[in-house]
């Protein structure tokens, strides 16, 4: 769907994804779905809320995923 969104889980990333990486992926997703690179002023609030919601869902997903065969860092 959106080639600029990278995989944010091991083994694609050697370490846990950062907040910045999750937010960047969320922004790319919202841009793709909405069709706007930058929303007009009257759409900025809903655009930003969508980015926040997608970033939060991404964080929840990555925290809950169990990667089989991955070595524990603990």
Please indicate whether residue 62 or residue 72 has the higher confidence score (pLDDT).
62
Residue 20 near residue 40 (C-beta atoms within 8 A)? no
Residue 74 has pLDDT above 80, yes or no: no
Residues 54 and 24: their CA atoms lie apart, in Å, by 10
**pLDDT digits 0-9 by tens, 27-61:** 999 999 999 999 999 999 999 999 999 999 999 99
Please indicate whether residue 13 or residue 8 has the higher confidence score (pLDDT).
8
Residue 22 has pLDDT above 80, yes or no: yes
Please report how the helices 44-64 and 19-34 are oriented relative to each other, as an axis angle in degrees rounded to 10. 130
pLDDT score recorded for residue 2: 57
- Ordered by start, the domain boundaries in the chain are 19-63
């Amino acid at each position: 769907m959106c080639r600029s969104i990278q995989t944010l889980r091991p083994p694609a990333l050697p370490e846990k994804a950062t907040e910045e990486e999750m937010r960047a992926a969320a922004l790319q997703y919202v841009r793709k779905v909405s069709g706007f690179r930058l929303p007009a002023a009257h759409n900025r609030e809903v655009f930003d809320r969508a980015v926040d919601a997608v970033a939060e869902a991404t964080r929840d997903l990555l925290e809950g995923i169990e990667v089989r065969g991955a070595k524990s860092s603990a």
